Amino acid sequence: MCGVFGVYAPGRDVARLAYFGLFALQHRGQESAGIAVSEDGRVTALRELGLVAQVFDEQNLSGLRGGLAIGHTRYSTTGGNAWSNTQPVVHHGRARTVSLGHNGNLVNADELRASTGKTLQSSSDSEVIAVLVADDQRPLADALAATMERLEGAASVVGLSEGKLFAFRDRYGFRPLVLGRLGDDPVVASETCALDLVGARFERELRPGELLVADEDGVHVRQAVEPAPEGALCIFEFFYLARPDTRLAGVEVHAARVRMGERLAEEAPVEADLVMPIPDSGTPAAVGFSRASGIPFSEGLVKNRYVGRTFIQPEQGMRDQGIRMKFNPLAEVAGKRVVAVDDSIVRGSTTRQIVQMLFDAGATEVHIRISSPPVISPCFYGIDLASEEEMIASHSTVEEVRAAIGATSLAYLSLDGLQAATRRPANALCRACLTREYPTPVPLDGAKLRFEAAL
């Protein structure tokens, strides 16, 4: 998971626009943030571990001058959480200097790294993309198209080189990438919510396999790579990752999540006194569950919003610490039969602690309802779910998961129910972590830290 943003707008304060664009994309990655600008072909990048608001201030932003800017918020999926893996990466190659930010994960990163013949600075798969473009002697758009041909897996990329902004999406379209306009100036971003924040109007999504280059002559778009016959927009974006106010493939994420909750109430009804979300991503589905079941909605748990998402924090020790810092139950759950709605269970450790917290607060029954099917298989396309051994549902029945988390009852939304709520056809979405049916070949070793030793 990462957020990317780019703007080509000579005459505007592009670094500030990138800052606010990243601010809207903070939920996609909280490990590091960075902005690169280009002025007269010269690239300046500032990237650091931390949240957007921690990395940038008035002083360092005012030093980032140029006519175009890109930005990145990172959550690591290949390569650890180290400064060398922050983005945008910058590579000075044989043909040009390239800076880029990447959302997604390549499944052929090993092979591509080896093909560069270089010792790279980072252990991420994203630097490889920059190297391939920077070393290619053909004109920039051709070098980009040739590089896109070689990428397998997920890549929504924004970059700058030779005073031009570029953006592209892999042939499957795993990760979203949208084009907007600020006046006539092009803006690209992972999600529509970033366009909204900077005041850009949505124009359209980039199509799978499409390449965009913006320069002084305008925006040039070409279908650089044949799109896959079936698209693979990540279904996890719909129920977990994307911000609720974002529109994915024309569908508002919040509304889709409400429909998931409504369908869940039909599929797995329960007698209870209140419906509460496990905040924040469980909230719209809890609203839907409450609406469809007629059981009153209430908060139940208060979340400290200034602590990062526990799911996003990469180490188990941090996750355990995170849950205690993050939630506090309200007195009104005491004596009640509670339905707690969440978007997913991956390892089960967070849900178990929340169930215990609700019983400790006096709930008489805790019914867990999940607005997605069981997560049973890893993601190789940019969401660091966990390994299959760590996923509780990959080796347990629903009843075993219920017992492990200590809930009174447990039910998941069916795959058909989830699919219907997205209003997208099944062949337009990747659902591999729920079905084990991957749209591409997957690497034997997809371990996140596999390139660390090569540095």
Question: 444 Cβ partners below 8 Å, 6+ apart?
Answer: none
Closest approach, Cβ 375 to ligand SF4, in A, equals: 8
In 144-209 the beta strands, taken as DSSP E runs, fall at 156-161, 164-169, 178-182, 185-189, 201-205
Which listed residue (5, 75, 236, 297) binds ligand SF4 by CB under 6 A?
Answer: 236
Whichever of 198 and 383 has its CB closer to ligand SF4, that residue is: 383
Which listed residue (14, 130, 270, 433) binds ligand SF4 by CB under 6 A?
Answer: 433
Residue 424 found at the interface with ligand SF4 (CB under 6 A): no
Cis peptide before 280 (omega within 30 of 0): yes
Q: What are the distances in angstroms from CA 131 to CA 117, 127, 249?
A: 10, 6, 31
Q: Which residues pair with 408 in a beta bridge?
A: none
Considering only residues 156 to 185 of the shown chain, the ones binding ligand SF4 according to CB under 6 A are 174
Residue 354 found at the interface with ligand SF4 (CB under 6 A): no
Residue 345 found at the interface with ligand SF4 (CB under 6 A): no
Residue 61 found at the interface with ligand SF4 (CB under 6 A): no
Residue 430 found at the interface with ligand SF4 (CB under 6 A): yes
Whichever of 187 and 234 has its CB closer to ligand SF4, that residue is: 234
Which listed residue (234, 340, 354, 361) binds ligand SF4 by CB under 6 A?
Answer: 234
Closest approach, Cβ 155 to ligand SF4, in A, equals: 12
Closest approach, Cβ 15 to ligand SF4, in A, equals: 31
CA dihedral 169, 174, 179, 180 (to 10 degrees): -160
Name the segment binding ligand SF4 (CB under 6 A); options: 51-59, 70-78, 199-207, 377-385. 377-385
Residue 383 found at the interface with ligand SF4 (CB under 6 A): yes
Q: What are the distances in angstroms from CA 55 to CA 23, 61, 72, 266, 422?
A: 11, 10, 12, 46, 35
Active-site amino acid positions: 2
Closest approach, Cβ 248 to ligand SF4, in A, equals: 12
Q: What are the distances in angstroms from CA 39 to CA 160, 161, 190, 329, 353?
A: 11, 10, 24, 51, 51
CA dihedral 276, 281, 285, 291 (to 10 degrees): 50
Note the residues at the interface with ligand SF4 (CB under 6 A): 174, 234-236, 379, 381, 383, 430-433
